[in-house]
Amino acid sequence: MTIYEQSNSSNAYLEMDLLRFTTAGSVDDGKSTLIGRLLYDSKAIFEDQLDAIEQASLNRGEDGVNLALLTDGLRAEREQGITIDVAYRYFATPKRKFIIADTPGHVQYTRNMVTGASTADLAVVLIDARHGVLTQSKRHGFIASLLRIPHVVVAVNKMDLVEFSQEVFAKIEREYTAFSAKLDITDITFIPVSALKGDNVVDRSEHMDWYHGPTFLHHLEHVNIASDRNLIDFRFPVQAVIRPHQNFRGYAGTIVSGVIRPKEEVMALPSGKTSRIKEVTTFEGDLGEAGAGTPVVITIEDEIDISRGDMLVRPGNIPQVDNEVGAMICWMSEEPLDRNRHYVLQHSTREVKAFVDEVSYRVDVDTLHREDADTLQLNDIGRVQITTAQPLFFDPYRVNQETGAFILVDPFSHNTVAAGMIRGATRTAEEVGERAAHLSRSALQEARKELRSPNVVWEGLNIPREEREAAGKHGAAVVWFTGLSGSGKTTVARVLERRLFGAGVKTMLLDGDYVRHGLCGDLGFSASDRAENIRRVGEVARLFFEQGSVVLCTFVSPYSEDRARARALVPESRFFEIFVDVDLDTARDRDPKGLYAKSDQGEIANLTGVTSPYEAPANPELMLKTADMSIEEAADVVLEALKSAGIIKSNHAI
């Protein structure tokens, strides 16, 4: 049976969901065999393919059909029995279409794994049950985390060679779970399999009745990838200008994220000029709406100078525009990185001349430690600072993989020398603050509309905040304490709350530990999880604010943009950003939770101020230097600010 015969019709096949996944692991862990078994047992192999691998197996003198040969397409691979290049395979089941990238396991082919995994929705890391978690297993997990692949499957293979032992599987699961906790991996699933025998690949194993999870194919068919797509940030890189005659001018390209509709306002970058969408059309006709991944031709109502490499966005939701970026790159060339020459940076449909100004560090992917480096060699992964001749229109890779990725090309050989993931613009703290201030309240409100659940109507509050404030005889406010761990945020807020409560002021203290024990217990500490944590806290703070309380929020909240979103939820005069400022050495000496010590020992991967950035407020309402003042003095400063703003009446006995 062919893959097309498994679908009810060709149209049904075309409309099926598509999952891209990559496989990786150490040499001889059985990646190619697993894929071969998957294709074979799901009836996705054509007869001529099966005849070819049967003949190849016979020529190699093997007993039976070597299913790994389905993906090992290069002659060198077949002779050595290993995978060297990235092998892509396509197949489908009645539930979903698949594109598989089978990547090599050798250390020297790290660049190939980066290539295969760059567009993946899911990564499969194979571990040989006999050998357990090896350095390469960790390396591939790190790369999956670096590329922000949202779903990871750890397939513990060759279970038949360890007598299908539950204890062996459980030990590997515990060890890899502990390792992955240091990475930015949000969804990880462990499946015991025997690729050679077919156990738990397509059909459930009769030898592992202790395993109650899904088979490998069942998980691939049902893992939810729809929520992984960015449907908020509309980004349309212009690939070509379509001018079949003088009465038509359209802009062709693929919508890489977000959704657009006719009549909506758009802005053209870099000009900054605005217009409205006239038509969104395809070869088959006009569309009422088009989303991420859709190739379209867009026409607008006004004559604006737009060409290839420009980008259409929403005026209230623009990407960062800068010619200096910080990025993580994987070096793919035999020639080392040369900081004294230029490269061509290809970002979406834009090509610009670029210089790598600085190599901040190189990552030892075996230990995850950072190493000082002046250059990068083949397969090295490192953090760099890049300057481009013309500005890029980008989002951080953690927010939007489509506009956060790029490649570097040698302008003379035209070889791709590096693949990169943009971390953000290279800015001073003041410039970051200006960018956060630039985010208009209307833009943030528009973004929130996109996030709302469908068919939910805001009914309005039963008792307006103004009535509650009058009854409580004080104003409502959100007091947001931000700063490094150990700066004293929570300590000051606790003293402040006690004094406010004693004077009859309604208060609520929201602290990071409180919310992560319940409301945000499902979140980690990656950049995206931190952003979601602050989003939730901001919404809760708004509810308590509308209830008439003085809400004290104590969160590291390292990103200015996240704090700006929290600020936009309440009236401007009712939000007080308090920057609790201490130097890193003072915070280390205090270390109330032992986080810095754990970070130094490698137990914490993303500690703000050490291994993760902190964007200090540029224009906070207050700055508390807790290294130079007592806790009581710091609380006094905040109280005086609340009194000056009229939140607390001067006659309150505090």
User: What 3-state class would DSSP assign to 502?
Assistant: helix
Q: What is the dihedral of CA 528, 532, 534, 535, to 10 degrees?
A: 130
Catalytic residues: 557
Between CA 110 and CA 118 the distance in angstroms is 12
Residue for token digits 């998957």? 38
Q: What is the dihedral of CA 267, 443, 616, 142, to 10 degrees?
A: -80
Between CA 564 and CA 441 the distance in angstroms is 9
Structural element, H or E, at residue 471 = helix 465-472
- Name residues whose C-beta falls within 8 Å of residue 602's C-beta, 6 or more positions apart in sequence: 182, 367, 368, 369
Beta strands in 159-210 (DSSP E): 187-192
Bridge partners of 290, per DSSP, are 260
Between CA 50 and CA 207 the distance in angstroms is 27
Distance, CA of 496 to chain centre = 37
For residue 275, give both structure tokens: 């217009």
Q: How many CB atoms lie within 10 A of CB 345?
A: 26
Between CA 649 and CA 344 the distance in angstroms is 61
Bridge partners of 157, per DSSP, are 128
- Name residues whose C-beta falls within 8 Å of residue 36's C-beta, 6 or more positions apart in sequence: 53, 66, 67, 68, 69, 70, 71, 195
- Helix then strand then coil, in percent of the chain rounded to 5, is 30, 30, 40
